[in-house]
Structure 1
Amino acid sequence: MTTILAVANQKGGVAKTTTVASLGAALAGLGHKVLVVDLDPQGSLTFSLGHNPDRLEQSVHEVLTAGVPAADVLLDTREGAQLLPATIDLAGAEALLLMRPGREHTLARALKPIVDDFDVVIIDCPPSLGVLTLNGLTAADSVLVPLQCETLAHRGVGQLLRTVSEVQQITNPGLTMLGALPTLYDARTTHSRDVLADVSDRYDIAVLDPPIPRTVRFAEASASGATVLTGRKNKGAVAYQALAKQLSDHWTKGKALKTYVAD
């Protein structure tokens, strides 16, 4: 069965898009048929996977607001995953969707004709808790929360968890919390470890292991229209490949995910 994963955090700059792109590429590298969905009007995922949002005639905006079939909008990426792209037009979708009944289910309905063509669908939710993020959470089976390992980075986690709880009660009872994924992690500092320990203590949420390290390779990869998995081996790619293998085993074999344990 297809697994649909929403990657969400209303805080920007937490490597959310990097996580979607890198996990998608890593899972495709393991032989899975992968679809990544860009729900962010900034189109960062679309750009980082080698497509210019300014030059696209159709995107997820037309899928959500004009009934264009998602299959007609899909794009290939160089590392194997397929992409449902976004453009700045998506910024107007919130207002249009607000006027529609069952608006939180729009994405789920749009994906239904194609979802069985894929093993994994990963949704890049925008950095907000608006209608687009609610659509991502309503369409998903589980949610992953990238969490920057810096002071105050987790201040919005409680609000996000409340939103997830409301989605579970109202629009998607089957939604599960996969856990928090530590990003921008610096193993040389006690500060990063302290942040993770605080999250583990403060919230009822698993913190996944391994943490994703801070490396300049992420910025370099995005600028080149590829993911960190392309080119020479680096610690960022190794971490995402390890996480992808864990997720693959979790979804296909029922294996438990590794979680961070504070010292």
Structure 2
Amino acid sequence: MSSPATSSDREKVVSKLPGWLRQHLKVRAAQHGVEIQTAVEQGIDAWLALASTPATVDTAGADSFSTFLPEGQWERFRDVAADRRVSLIQGLAQSVQLWLDTTPAPDIERPAVTRRIVVCNQKGGVGKTAIAAGVGEALAEDPGRLHPVRVAKALSAALRASDQIADSDPLDVESLPGLGLRVLLVDFDPQCHLTNQLGATPLPMNGDSLTNHMAGDPKGDLRDLLVSIDESTFGGRLHLLPACHDAFLLDVRLSAVRAREAALERALLPLESDYDVILVDCPPSLGLSMDAAAYYGRRREGERPGQSGALIVVQAEDSSADAYDLLTNQIEDLRGDLALDLDYLGIVVNLYDGRRGYIATSSLQGWVDIKDPRVVGLISDLKEQKEAVRMKQPLLSYAPSSQQAVGMRALAREIS
């Protein structure tokens, strides 16, 4: 059946589709950035042009499905379906399957140079680890599934109305395919927070570690230390290089290493061909280890600006501003001393709660006013992240529809 034509000369058509086929249609249409009605229209056109009826599609359990088609198309479809002696439900299912078969999922767009994101701030307790993990998880999510993502306009609106940020507007959330990138999370903090939060075990002091490789004293292949994170959710695309408490001695050991600024790069370079993105969760420090992390995040020859660099995590309070100044001064010194092109990927205001009043809202406005680097993410202080840490699970598998997860996906896309 159909209803009168819409203002765009389309008519509403109501039929049935099996749930599995409808889900495939939604995901594939989103992957190609087309509307479902356009995909169905193209599928029916292709079905009408066939010289013979294609293979039967299993329509068991089909339920109501409605869309808008060009005026007259459904009538032509009904006539051809009658000639081919197939039901309208079967003909529609064949049309949708034909569109899926002729419109394969697009290839994942992989960077020419492995992106290196250094998540940093010398102040502890701002949530660098949560941001590093959340961004990495969002980058690695399944491209064959739809995930709720806060669209860019929501962040812009939130920043303009900072006293209302704690509220979530469902109209500003879209379902988008996962990015499907191969991601390595590097726990570069001797406190091992990232390792513990993701349910892994810190490396033993008497074994091999990233510290040993940076100090020129490896005891094996760094690949042997990698841990795959929640393969059921991330499909083997998300790995972790666990930390070791020996990193407390890293600055001392680096002091005896030649070209120590490049020590992290020398250690991780053999792994880069396996990954699209490497995120480094930095310690709350301004020592030699931070110099090495900043150097690793510099822009390389042939790399576009903004692909790699420093992602700075802050809170909407005064002490974060003081720590930010210290960090950016160190980065600027490195830029000058070593002639580095080190890009700022932006500022993430984490653990935000507008209900805390003037301190929070005015501090947020202060971050927004900086402009360069600009605020690229705003993550609320809600219970799901704390629960995920307690459960030692990734946030995006523990609470994939939470406001924090939605914000992490938006952040990952903002810096992509």
Normalised-by-shorter TM-score class: 0.7 to 0.9
Contact 1:158 1:203 in 2 (8 A): no
Number of residue pairs matched?
247
Answer whether contact 1:137 1:143 (CA < 8 A) is retained.
yes
Tell me whether 1:3 sits opposite 2:115 in the alignment: yes
Pick from 216, 229, 236 the counterpart of residue 77 of structure 1: 229
Residues 20-169 of structure 1 mapped to structure 2, 5 A cutoff? 20-29=132-141, 30-53=179-202, 57-65=207-215, 66-67=217-218, 68-78=220-230, 79=234, 80-140=237-297, 141-169=308-336
- Structure of higher RCO (CA pairs closer than 8 Å, 6+ residues apart): 1
Answer yes or no: is the 8 Å Cα contact 2:203–2:242 preserved in 1: no
| Structure 1 CA distance for aligned equivalents of residues 326 and 393 of structure 2 | 32
Contact kept, 8 Å, 1:63 with 1:69, in 2: the verdict is no
Contact 1:104 1:171 in 2 (8 A): no
2:361 to 193, 213, 226: 193
Greater mean alpha carbon deviation, residues 52-61 or residues 175-184: 52-61
Q: Shift of the alpha carbon at 1:151?
A: 3.3
| Contact 1:38 1:60 (8 Å CA) reproduced | no
Letter paired with 2:411:
L
- TM-aligned CA deviation for residue 120 of structure 1: 0.6
SS in 1 for 2:137: helix
**2:272 partner amino acid:** V
* Cα distance per residue 1:193-248 (max 9 Å; x no partner): 31022234468421224x10001211211122212112342111110011112223
* Equivalent residue, structure 1, for 2:51: none
* SS state at 1:95 partner: helix
Q: C-alpha offsets along residues 3-42 of structure 1, whole Å, 9 cap, x if unaligned?
A: 1010110000001000011111110012000011111000
Where does the alignment leave 5 or more consecutive residues of structure 1 unmatched? 249-263
Task: Indicate whether 1:13 and 2:104 are aligned.
Answer: no
Query: How far apart, CA to CA, are the structure 1 residues paired with 2:271 and 2:203?
Result: 25
Give the TM-score taking structure 2 as reference length.
Answer: 0.56
Q: CA deviation at 1:131?
A: 1.2
Local SS of the residue matching 1:183: strand
Matched residue, 1:238: 406
The DSSP-based 3-state class of the residue aligned with 1:135 is: helix
Deviation of 1:190 after TM superposition, in Å, equals: 4.4
Go from structure 1 to structure 2 and tell me whether the alpha carbon gap of 1:55 and 1:108 turns closer, same or farther (over 3 Å shift).
closer
Report matched runs for 1:158-237 at 5 Å.
158-171=325-338, 173-188=340-355, 189-201=357-369, 204-209=372-377, 211-232=378-399, 233-237=401-405
Kindly state the Cα deviation for residue 55 of structure 1 after the two structures are TM-superposed: 5.4
Which structure would you say has the larger Rg?
2
Identity of aligned residues (%): 32
- How far has the Cα of 1:175 moved from its partner? 1.2
- The Cα of 1:77 is off from its aligned counterpart by 1.1
Q: Secondary structure of the equivalent of 2:375?
A: coil
Deviation (angstroms), 1:59: 2.7
Which whole-Å CA distance do the structure 1 matches of 2:338 and 2:390 have between them? 37
Instruction: Tell me the C-alpha RMSD between the 2 structures.
Output: 1.9
- Taking structure 1 as reference, are residues 43 and 146 closer, same or farther at Cα in structure 2, changes over 3 Å only? same
SS for the counterpart of 1:105 is helix
Contact 1:37/1:121, CA 8 A, preserved across alignment: yes
1:91: Cα distance to partner? 0.8
Preserved contact between residue 344 and residue 373 of structure 2 (Cα < 8 Å):
yes
Under a length normalisation based on structure 1, what TM-score does the superposition of the two structures give?
0.87
* Aligned residue type for 1:75: V
Letter of the aligned partner of 1:246 in structure 2?
E
Instruction: Output one character per residue of 1:132-190: Cα deviation in whole Å (capped at 9) or x when no partner.
Output: 11111110130010011123322111111111112222346121011111001113444
